[in-house]
Structure 1
Amino acid sequence: MLPPVDEEQLAESPFTALGLGRPIVEAVLQKGYSQPSSIQQQCIPAVLAGRDVMAAAQTGTGKTAGFTLPMLERLRHGPHARGRIVRSLVLTPTRELAAQVADNVKAYSRHLDLRSDVVFGGVKINPQITRLQAGADVLVATPGRLMDLVQQGAISLDRVEILVLDEADRMLDMGFIRDIQKILRLLPAKRQNLLFSATFETSIRRLATGLLHEPVQLQVTPENRTAATVEHILHPCDMARKPDLLCHLIASNDWQQVLVFSRTKHGANRVADRLSAEGMAAAAIHGNKSQGARTRALAGFKSGELRVLVATDIAARGIDIHQLPHVVNLDLPNQAEDYVHRIGRTGRAGHSGHAVSLVAAEEHELLRAIERLTGKKLPKQEIPGFEPTVLSAPPLDLSGGRGRSSRGGGGNRGVGNRGGVSRSGRPAARSSSRRP
């Protein structure tokens, strides 16, 4: 049962002062949120004013509520969607992130007569086609599945009032640019555009130039910097002994909720099996898992049924767990930016977090790239009994075949093999007070 909200709470809420109406503020307060985050304070008034927005906001900054709340406020005053019409469209790179955004939309619109839906690949399309016959005031979608639905005539995008590109940098890295370009051609010229990215790198600025009209530019944290509340530590270790050291760290420190990043899908499976064999409830989440298995693993991790979740970079997008205490890099990411994305899942909303990296000699160049990007040297600590025996080694071979684009919901096809390259020409991402 939802907690009651009295008139005084509504009147004095900072969310009311930002221009949000009673039904939405009531939903926010019922979720237990009292203070807007920095991105919300800046973004909500801009969206309510009808401005295009370009925002650099990393995971954990409250960006989803930053665009969801004012979008719902604008939509609630217009005619509702009917007959395959979509009024607002939120594009996300992965299934998990799409589901996360859709959950937020549903929670914040609980007191509104608005219809919302979410569509992504990896599940049957016919139920989605049936649901969309009634239209959607808010549709959250991955690009590939959205194009499939458009091609089958299940929805019409010619009346979209608001377009949101969430984690646009990741969508470009995953090779979605062609699908995005096709989708943009289906939208009306007159619309509001909101673009969110972890960084304002060149490819994002190029996309924004052709998409946004005189946008408000927001940046809530310095680019490529990590939260001050996160404690970083590096443990040198031979590559072959990383699973042993991971088990030792979890057991000896009695960590009860740990998110582990693996570079590959097979590596994630092996580590999850090893942890389970050691008596630590664990599961792997990656693009080769069915959507049902991924959903169950994430739910089990959030509830505490699973102690360890082993994820690849792509599958982890959208994981949003309040006060997640520990993130472990079993393998360093091939793109330094992904280090920031990974550890952004701990140390949120002012809470402390612990980011641990197990680093082999072969990963020396990857470590240097991360330290250059973040502007800080990771403190090093050897663990007795796990000291590295290999002190120098050739770097990992990151060259190889070009990755294929991923379609239909953010699985890591085309980005799961070592050495893949995204269409942007950069190494592809490897599979491998409370605030909204």
Structure 2
Amino acid sequence: MSFDSLGLRAELITAVSKKGYTEPTSIQAQSIPLILEGRDLMGGAQTGTGKTASFTLPVLQRLMESGDAKPKAGKVRALVLTPTRELAAQVAESVRDYGQHLPLSSFVIFGGVNINPQKQKLRKGVDILVATPGRLLDHVSQNTVDLSSVEILVLDEADRMLDMGFIRDIRKVLALLPQQKQTLLFSATFSNEIKKLTSSLLHNPALVEVAKENSASELISQVVHPVDKKRKRELLSFLIGSNDWKQVLVFTRTKHGANKLSEQLNKDGITAAAIHGNKSQGARTKALANFKSNDIRVLVATDIAARGLDIDQLPHVVNFELPNVPEDYVHRIGRTGRAGSEGEAMSLVCVDELKLLKGIERLIKTDIKKVTFEGYEPDLSIKPEPIQNGHNNQRPRKSTPKNHSPAKPKTNTGAKPNGSTRAKKRNTQNKPTNRPDNFGNR
């Protein structure tokens, strides 16, 4: 199947060709014709399958066909809501790229930057507005945007928006929209909460699911490296240095953990930067740009970056710490193995995280391969401790465990750390061994 067969305009076909795409992905092939018909739609696909283009292309065409060539002052014709700034920027870039040959205007708004330039742009009116919920409501409260003429609403990564507590903001936005509109809801996973939301929001929606729910791409190889918590940084530095990895996305659970790990990696001679919600938008944009251009080797991120980071052919994703929510594992590792490329996802798992690991394996219905590195075998006498701000027993704990922070890293000036002196004496090559039995049966 080609894009020509989907009924898209010549201008859109030209834009798609410029990006190097010749055949639509499964989600695109199934969704685009339904959206062009004016149907409400629930689209489910694992990340990296072309979900953004599957709604961007038909939305652009629908706006061209609706007759209003120019938006009125302060008005918006199509609204795309996303949970994070990075995802909003990514979607806005796709809108610009695919709509470059059409006389349609687009704009993106999110927090963390000066609101005044956004006000000036919005007062003129815009065909397609991409926004995060909080900043959109800021503009609504200041009367700089009018949503009463929205023809198409897109909720992108709807499950993540609910996870991040945006349900009240979403309902406030919905109350400002006209009853008659086309609504498209896209997400990598569909929770019960999402299904409840769609029952009141969508009218006789078409359902398109192109991958098994909560499944990872088959192009992603997954492995768990059992290791003690205090030696995770050591093992991570060894893996990056000895394999000469040039581009690695590493996930931590907390902002503080991301900052600390980034500093430790730089001390190990591995260039790294952290990206999370406490960073200014300028710092986040700079860190991501440096990572994409290979000016830094490692980007350390919290789960806010699990959605919206679109990096061409990212080869390696590492879970330095497992996420508290199993579904977030799927989104994290989905940053690799995108657009038909193969990827590698590794998880450094300590005894504290065994229950989190079991929850992930239940979700994806797969036992992830365990590979233990000689010299980094976990100490089986160590007892598991509660995870701070996590749920070792699938629910949050109020108390903060003592002595929970990782051990202070050893000084290491080389770009290819080889672990501790003790590990070197035992085996200077640190060869991996397939030994899941010494870890998984605790």
Query: With structure 1 as the length reference, what TM-score do the two structures score?
Result: 0.88
Contact 1:285 1:316 in 2 (8 A): no
What is the rounded CA distance, in whole Å, between the counterparts of 1:419 and 1:400 in structure 2? 7
CA pair 64-391 structure 1, distance change in 2 beyond 3 A: farther
Paired residues, number: 392
The residue aligned with 2:9 is 21
What is the rounded CA distance, in whole Å, between the counterparts of 1:102 and 1:193 in structure 2? 18
1:82 deviates by 2.1
Corresponding residue SS for 1:348? coil
Letter in 2 for 1:202: N
The residue aligned with 1:255 is 245
- Check if 1:75 corresponds to 2:38: no
Contact 1:16 1:25 in 2 (8 A): yes
Runs of 4+ that moved beyond 2 A: 390-401
What is the rounded CA distance, in whole Å, between the counterparts of 2:374 and 2:163 in structure 1? 39
Letter in 2 for 1:260: V
- Check if 1:49 corresponds to 2:37: yes
What is the rounded CA distance, in whole Å, between the counterparts of 1:390 and 1:112 in structure 2? 63
Contact 1:102 1:118 in 2 (8 A): yes
CA offsets 1:268-310 (integer angstroms, 9 cap, x no match): 1111111112222210000110000000111111111111100
What is the rounded CA distance, in whole Å, between the counterparts of 1:369 and 1:391 in structure 2? 23
The worse-fitting range, judged by mean Cα deviation, of 201-210 and 75-84 is 75-84
1:94-133 aligned at under 5 Å gives the runs 94-133=84-123
- Check if 1:288 corresponds to 2:269: no
CA offsets 1:103-131 (integer angstroms, 9 cap, x no match): 00001111111110000011111110001
- Check if 1:32 corresponds to 2:20: yes
- Check if 1:387 corresponds to 2:395: no
1:58 deviates by 2.4
Q: Pick from 143, 167, 174 the counterpart of residue 184 of structure 1.
A: 174
What is the rounded CA distance, in whole Å, between the counterparts of 2:374 and 2:246 in structure 1? 22
What is the rounded CA distance, in whole Å, between the counterparts of 1:279 and 1:38 in structure 2? 42
Contact 1:361 1:391 in 2 (8 A): no
What is the rounded CA distance, in whole Å, between the counterparts of 2:385 and 2:199 in structure 1? 37
CA offsets 1:69-101 (integer angstroms, 9 cap, x no match): 000011123312120110000000000000000
Letter in 2 for 1:108: Y
The residue aligned with 1:426 is none
CA offsets 1:132-152 (integer angstroms, 9 cap, x no match): 111110000000000010110
Corresponding residue SS for 1:106? helix
What is the rounded CA distance, in whole Å, between the counterparts of 1:394 and 1:381 in structure 2? 20
Letter in 2 for 1:23: E
Unaligned runs of 5+ in 2: 399-442
What is the rounded CA distance, in whole Å, between the counterparts of 2:232 and 2:384 in structure 1? 18
- Check if 1:226 corresponds to 2:216: yes
The residue aligned with 1:62 is 50
Contact 2:158 2:194 in 1 (8 A): yes
Contact 1:52 1:192 in 2 (8 A): yes
What is the rounded CA distance, in whole Å, between the counterparts of 2:383 and 2:80 in structure 1? 45
Q: Pick from 313, 318, 324 the counterpart of residue 323 of structure 1.
A: 313
What is the rounded CA distance, in whole Å, between the counterparts of 1:304 and 1:419 in structure 2? 39
Letter in 1 for 2:21: Y
1:419 deviates by 5.5
What is the rounded CA distance, in whole Å, between the counterparts of 2:380 and 2:260 in structure 1? 23
Contact 1:116 1:136 in 2 (8 A): yes
Contact 1:96 1:316 in 2 (8 A): no
The worse-fitting range, judged by mean Cα deviation, of 53-62 and 211-220 is 53-62
1:350 deviates by 2.4
Corresponding residue SS for 1:76? helix
CA offsets 1:224-252 (integer angstroms, 9 cap, x no match): 11111111111111111111110000001
- Check if 1:306 corresponds to 2:289: no
Corresponding residue SS for 2:295? coil
1:392 deviates by 5.2
CA pair 133-419 structure 1, distance change in 2 beyond 3 A: farther
1:393 deviates by 2.5
Letter in 1 for 2:209: Q
Letter in 2 for 1:129: K
Letter in 1 for 2:63: L
The worse-fitting range, judged by mean Cα deviation, of 279-288 and 62-71 is 279-288
Letter in 2 for 1:17: S
CA pair 165-124 structure 1, distance change in 2 beyond 3 A: same
1:398 deviates by 5.8
Corresponding residue SS for 1:350? coil
Letter in 1 for 2:210: V
What is the rounded CA distance, in whole Å, between the counterparts of 1:249 and 1:290 in structure 2? 30
Q: Give the fraction of aligned pairs with identical amino acids, expressed as a percent.
A: 59
1:349 deviates by 2.4
What is the rounded CA distance, in whole Å, between the counterparts of 1:64 and 1:181 in structure 2? 23
Corresponding residue SS for 1:306? coil
Q: Rg bigger for which structure?
A: 2
1:156 deviates by 0.4
Contact 2:52 2:91 in 1 (8 A): yes
Q: Pick from 332, 350, 361 the counterpart of residue 360 of structure 1.
A: 350
What is the rounded CA distance, in whole Å, between the counterparts of 2:389 and 2:142 in structure 1? 38
Unaligned runs of 5+ in 1: 1-12, 402-417, 421-436
1:397 deviates by 3.9
The residue aligned with 1:274 is 264
